[in-house]
């Protein structure tokens, strides 16, 4: 049975029974999990610096010679694809006296000349030119290449570990979730637009990505009308999670034998949540929403890099309108609805009203995320 068929069957059953996937019990999370700065720093180090995180999609660097720069949690990165097609991630900092080597956001070039004193590196990070080396003195090129971070690419996602010298086993990290990601065929999609959103604290922000309980109340005009509120089909692979929602048209499947369902995927909406920071929401019909969510310097802020994808490059005016409409709708849903609501949570975390939050049985993915953090920190 295809995954979409299985998910649609589970979603339809919940729809007919007015039920949802549920955790075995409720969960209490102490407020200190959200507010304690020393705990935050320890978790940020363990989860975002010592473990692999997703930083980009392969489709952002489709061809050899493509590159991209980003600053993630204070670390300037230069992502490249070399002539063999291998993706690399370097700290975008010159080994001479520390200038940023590449100032462009993205482009296509195989060499990078530092703007300060013109040392030149290739897209494998090797130091290939030292301006005025006769006067400077000899430089040991073998040890003076760009600082490379462990970087692995799987299923259309580029993962790195932000701690220099620290390797990771991406296959062990993803496990069978890699197959679920690969099924999304992300490399076939196209980047329509990219934007950054400022948000509240890490956990309060992530909690909002991991439940459908709020959809009717918060998203009444955006995603709410299309999906059934408080209906979640939930699966986990290690720390990673998949959430499926029922679309309102799930009803149409009643009375039709599953083997005759022509497009089960058109009755559900599936979100893949790659621990700890990537949410991939592919929408049948041609558009997708991807969010990379990073904690800020303190427990009170996040930065989200949001990508809007389209299955095909929009060429006609109608296609252009469709993807732009989707882009605006998701911006409204995430920035003006989710993040605006979560800001009210963030503002009152220290109000004294709560000493813990009670996470419902119908919020299993929120529970799972907090347990996954504890697992990583405990290791």
Should residue 338 be labelled a site residue for Fe ion when binding is judged by CB under 5 A?
A: yes
Closer residue to ligand FES in complex, CB, 94/289: 94
Q: Which does 338 bind (CB under 5 to 8 A by kind): Fe ion, ligand FES, none?
A: Fe ion
Should residue 99 be labelled a site residue for ligand FES when binding is judged by CB under 6 A?
A: yes
Give the range of 6-14, 102-110, 224-232, 332-340 binding Fe ion by CB under 5 A.
Answer: 332-340
Pairwise CA distance, residues 300 & 297, whole Å: 8
Q: Which does 94 bind (CB under 5 to 8 A by kind): Fe ion, ligand FES, none?
A: ligand FES
Q: Which residue is nearest to Fe ion (CB)?
A: 338
**Which token pair is 38?**
């020393």
Give the range of 19-27, 109-117, 307-315, 368-376 binding ligand FES by CB under 6 A.
Answer: 109-117
- Minimum CB separation from Fe ion for residue 373, in Å? 20
- The separation between CA 70 and the C-alpha centre of its own chain, rounded to angstroms, equals 14
**Which token pair is 97?**
């006296």
**Which token pair is 1?**
């049975």
- Minimum CB separation from ligand FES for residue 291, in Å? 34
Q: Which does 97 bind (CB under 5 to 8 A by kind): Fe ion, ligand FES, none?
A: ligand FES
The DSSP H or E segment spanning 345 is: helix 340-347
Query: Across the chain, where does the E strand assignment appear?
Result: 27-30, 53-57, 66-72, 75-81, 87-91, 106-108, 111-113, 120-122, 127-129, 148-149, 151-154, 157-160, 190-199, 227-237, 240-247, 268-274, 278-283, 287-295, 302-310, 356-359
Residue 126 burial (CB count, 10 A): 14
Closer residue to ligand FES in complex, CB, 132/165: 132
Pairwise CA distance, residues 80 & 124, whole Å: 8
Give the range of 21-29, 96-104, 276-284, 348-356 binding ligand FES by CB under 6 A.
Answer: 96-104
Closer residue to ligand FES in complex, CB, 5/99: 99
**Sole binder of ligand FES in the list 116, 147, 221, 258 (CB under 6 A):** 116
First-last CA distance in the chain: 36
Q: Which does 116 bind (CB under 5 to 8 A by kind): Fe ion, ligand FES, none?
A: ligand FES
- Identify the bridge partners of residue 233 per DSSP, sorted by sequence position: 244
Write out the residues near Fe ion by the rule CB under 5 A: 338
Write out the residues near ligand FES by the rule CB under 6 A: 94, 96-99, 114, 116-119
């Amino acid at each position: 049975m295809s995954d979409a068929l299985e998910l649609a069957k589970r979603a339809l059953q919940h729809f007919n029974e007015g039920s949802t996937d549920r955790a075995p019990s409720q969960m209490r999370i102490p407020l200190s999990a959200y507010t304690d700065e020393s705990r935050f720093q320890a978790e940020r180090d363990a989860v975002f610096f010592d473990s692999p995180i997703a930083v980009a999609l392969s489709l952002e660097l489709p061809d050899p010679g493509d590159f991209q720069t980003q600053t993630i949690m204070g670390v300037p990165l230069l992502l490249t694809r070399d002539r063999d097609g291998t993706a690399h991630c370097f700290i975008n900092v010159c080994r001479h006296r520390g200038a940023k080597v590449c100032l462009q956001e993205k482009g296509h070039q195989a060499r990078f000349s530092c703007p300060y004193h013109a040392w030149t590196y290739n897209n494998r990070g090797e130091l290939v030119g030292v301006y005025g080396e006769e006067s400077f003195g000899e430089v040991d090129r073998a040890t003076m290449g760009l600082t490379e971070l462990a970087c692995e690419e799987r299923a259309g996602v580029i993962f790195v570990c932000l701690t220099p010298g620290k390797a990771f086993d991406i296959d062990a990290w993803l496990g069978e979730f890699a197959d679920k990601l690969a099924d999304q065929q992300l490399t076939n999609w196209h980047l329509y637009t990219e934007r950054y959103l400022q948000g509240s604290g890490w956990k309060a922000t992530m909690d909002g990505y991991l439940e459908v309980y709020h959809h009717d109340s918060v998203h009444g005009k955006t995603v709410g009308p299309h999906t059934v509120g408080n209906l979640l089909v939930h699966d986990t692979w290690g720390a990673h999670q998949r959430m499926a929602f029922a679309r309102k048209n799930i009803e149409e499947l009643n009375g039709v034998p599953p083997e005759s369902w022509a497009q089960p995927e058109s009755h559900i909406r599936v979100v893949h949540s790659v621990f700890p920071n990537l949410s991939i929401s592919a929408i049948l019909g041609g558009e997708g929403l991807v969010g990379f969510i990073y904690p800020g310097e303190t427990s009170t802020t996040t930065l989200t890099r949001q990508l809007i994808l389209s299955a095909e490059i929009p060429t006609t005016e109608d296609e252009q309108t469709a993807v732009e409409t989707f882009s605006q709708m998701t911006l409204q849903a995430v920035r003006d609805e989710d993040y605006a609501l979560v800001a009210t949570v963030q503002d009152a975390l220290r109000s004294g009203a709560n000493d813990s939050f009670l996470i419902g049985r119908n919020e299993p993915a929120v529970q799972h995320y907090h347990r996954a953090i504890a697992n990583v920190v405990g290791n």
